[in-house]
Amino acid sequence: MTQTSPDEPYDQADYDRVSAIREEAFKAWDTGRRADAIRLSDQWWDAIPGAKLGHMAEEQAALEMARAAAEAGDTVEARRWLARGREAYGDGDIGRELCGFVEGIVCYAEGDLDKAYAWFKASYDFMGRRTFSDKRDQTYWNFFADRAHLPRTAKKASKKTLEKLADEGDQQQAAGNLDDAIATWRQAIDMLDDTPTDHPMAMWFYASIGDALTEARRWDEADQALNQALAAGGTGNAFVWLRKGQALAELGNQKAALDALTSAYMLDGDEIFDDEDPKYRQLLIDAGVIHQP
């Protein structure tokens, strides 16, 4: 496992000591020494100085420990570590997605394939095909792809094919077939490069999905899609910030909504609100960002 130097309160001595215990725990899981694995895993967790929340190495390793236990057949231990992973990650979008994916692995190991599929689908809806990008994930991908009626191996698409899918999704959205439009754009994302957020068309697809989800009033999913649009280069796009601000406002996160809507206003001016519900512009008026004439 790649080690990443964590934030304070670690110093190098702490980091070396904790990392050594952690690696021994992984070796024990890998070699089937269950009792040693549990003992070393707990020893590692207890050795982490300070709060667990926000230590990247420990966030990742807690979920790796859950996965190792599940794949070794110890789902009780896997769930104990999954709870620790949730503790370490907190309630951010990425943490929820990563923990949800491991939840799917644990359900799969428990034989609850319906729940496993549901968790994998939630991860897929958030991250697309790349949520299964690790070589170890192919069993889970094949299971999910078969149930979702997706091809196990995605073909990389030409620019012409991607543009055709973009237009097809536009037409579906214009006809009110929002689920079909979202599915078409997700299909296109799955045809992008291994790191889809680096593709020049990725931002457009994610923003379009966010727009359709906003229209469907599926606010939490819209916010997730728009986060992907921002990660794909959308930070300079007023429309992305507008839709994100609207989703956040409907989710009750008024401070973050104000920040996003302010970004939209700064990039594109007052006209960005011309065809929108006046309540979103009113948020900026109330905050003193926009002054009434």
30 lies in the same domain as 50: yes
Question: 154 lies in a domain?
Answer: no
User: How far are the Cα atoms of 175, 187, 190, 191 from residue 214, in angstroms, in the given order?
Assistant: 16, 19, 22, 24
Question: 153 lies in a domain?
Answer: no
134 lies in the same domain as 85: yes
101 lies in the same domain as 209: no
Which of 86, 119, 148 is the C-terminal boundary of a domain? 148
User: How far are the Cα atoms of 204, 234, 248, 259 from residue 254, in angstroms, in the given order?
Assistant: 26, 21, 7, 9
Question: 293 lies in a domain?
Answer: no
The whole model's pTM is what? Answer: 0.57
Domain that holds residue 256: 159-286
Question: 4 lies in a domain?
Answer: no
- Chain centre to alpha carbon of residue 237: 21
With both helix axes pointing from N to C terminus, report the angle between 113-127 and 93-110 in degrees, rounded to the nearest 10: 150
Which of 128, 148, 168 is the C-terminal boundary of a domain? 148
83 lies in the same domain as 17: yes
237 lies in the same domain as 261: yes
Question: 41 lies in a domain?
Answer: yes
CATH number assigned to the domain comprising residue 257: 1.25.40.10
Which of 86, 117, 148 is the C-terminal boundary of a domain? 148
Reading the chain (293 residues) residue by residue, the pLDDT tens digits are: 333 334 444 566 777 777 788 888 888 888 888 888 888 888 888 877 655 544 445 667 788 889 988 998 999 999 998 998 888 777 666 677 788 899 999 999 999 999 999 999 988 877 777 778 777 888 999 999 899 888 777 667 788 889 999 999 999 999 999 999 999 998 888 888 655 666 788 899 999 999 999 999 999 889 989 988 988 888 899 999 999 999 999 998 889 999 999 999 999 888 999 999 999 999 999 988 887 76
Q: Are 228 and 197 in contact (CB under 8 A)?
A: yes
Q: Structurally, how many domains does the chain consist of? A: 2
